[in-house]
Structure 1
């Protein structure tokens, strides 16, 4: 089983929320099928999914496969590229 530590989750979420919030919103719209929200941010990332908080609710976006800490960046980049196709 691949493990993503809480420290890494916090670091990645902080980075995404501070520097790539547009991508977080695109993940929520495309993969989470949530089209209307006022506020959304990445709350957690683990080996199986991303959790995005929107307007006090949570959306879980499952990965196709389990990922490791080393695969986080490439996975998130691949996911955003899939949206733009």
Structure 2
């Protein structure tokens, strides 16, 4: 059974993404956040409607919001959605 996306679950997801998938977060910002000049990015929080990122552009940090294409049901849905977004970002034709 998957967890609903509470602040604790958000923190867990963000820690995992920041520690293990920082390149994916940059892709989220560049492609879905419409900030192609993103140099680095940190996932600050995630909720059922989107994620809040802190991105570095030209040496300056700024916040951006990336909305999902649907409302997430739970942490498992978040997992599959984040993977799908990386695949789309890497191969936009599919």
Please report the TM-score for the alignment, with normalisation by the length of structure 2: 0.81
Mind listing any 5+ residue stretches in structure 2 that lack a counterpart?
Answer: none
RMSD: 1.3
Supply the distance in 1 between the matched residues of 2:39 and 2:88 (Cα, whole angstroms). Answer: 24
Q: Which runs of 4+ in 1 moved over 6 A?
A: none
8 Å contact from structure 2 (residues 43, 54) kept in 1: yes
Q: Which residue in 2 is equivalent to 1:61?
A: 66
TM-score by length of 1: 0.88
State whether residues 44 and 53 of structure 2, in contact with CA within 8 Å, keep that contact through their aligned partners in structure 1: yes
Quote the Cα distance in structure 1 between the aligned partners of 2:89 and 2:37: 17
Q: Which protein has the larger Cα radius of gyration, Structure 1 or Structure 2?
A: 2
Map of 1:13 onto structure 2: 14
> Deviations along 1:37-60, whole A, 9 cap, x unmatched?
444200010000011111332111
